[in-house]
Amino acid sequence: SQQGEEDPQALSIQEGENATMNCSYKTSINNLQWYRQNSGRGLVHLILIRSNEREKHSGRLRVTLDTSKKSSSLLITASRAADTASYFCATSQGGSEKLVFGKGTKLTVNP
């Protein structure tokens, strides 16, 4: 069953704007990972945040995690047309390495 729920389902912005995507989950997690998928291709790993972390940065990406609210957000700053893709969060729980994915947010960055 789906663990994460991203919102919005779709987001359209102009180049240079910031994009924020949210992910909520239902049970306790070990970590949460964000992925990007371009046009039905393979997934590109963006960032992992552990359950004891609150914020991580990687280039133009900023991820936050609020375990009390069971939610995470992915912020892409100064977006580019090349950021157009679907973004998924995925969680791992307990002693399992398997990932449970959210439904994804489809981001369109207009030039």
| 17 versus 55: smaller Cβ distance to another protein | 55
Q: Which amino acid is at 87?
A: Y
Binding of residue 107 to another protein (CB under 8 A): no
Number of shown-chain residues binding another protein (CB under 8 A)? 24
| 15 versus 64: smaller Cβ distance to another protein | 64
Q: CB of 55: closest distance to another protein in angstroms? A: 17
Binding of residue 105 to another protein (CB under 8 A): no
Q: Where are the beta strands (DSSP E) in 9-104?
A: 10-14, 19-24, 31-37, 43-50, 55-58, 61-66, 71-76, 85-92, 100-101
Q: Could you tell me if 64 and 71 are in contact, meaning their C-beta atoms sit under 8 angstroms apart?
A: no
Q: Could you tell me if 107 and 19 are in contact, meaning their C-beta atoms sit under 8 angstroms apart?
A: yes
Please report which helix (H) or strand (E) contains residue 82, including its range.
none
Binding of residue 61 to another protein (CB under 8 A): no
Q: Which of 70, 74, 84, 104 binds another protein (CB under 8 A)?
A: 104
Binding interface with another protein (CB under 8 A): 2, 30-31, 33, 35, 40-45, 48, 50, 88, 90, 92, 97-104
